[in-house]
Amino acid sequence: MAFILAKTVETKTFALSEGFLYALIGFCLVLVVLAVLMGFIYLLSYIVRKVEGKGKKQSAPATASAPELAPGSSGSVKLNNVDDRTAAMVMAIVADELKTPLNELKFISIKEINEEEK
Does 109 fall in a domain? yes
Does 91 fall in a domain? yes
State pTM to two decimals.
Answer: 0.38
* pLDDT tens-digit readout, 75-111: 678 888 888 899 889 989 999 999 988 878 888 889 8
Does 8 fall in a domain? no
Does 20 fall in a domain? yes
Does 61 fall in a domain? no
Torsion of CA 105, 108, 110, 116, to 10 degrees: -130
The set of long-range contacts for 97-104, using a CB threshold of 8 Å and a minimum separation of 24, is 102/72, 103/72, 103/73, 103/74
**Which letter does DSSP use for residue 60 in this model?**
P
Does 92 fall in a domain? yes
Residue type, 55: G
Does 29 fall in a domain? yes
Instruction: Count structural domains, the chain.
Output: 2
Alpha helices in 59-109 (DSSP H): 84-98
* pLDDT tens-digit readout, 43-74: 999 999 998 887 666 555 555 566 666 565 66
Domain that holds residue 96: 78-113
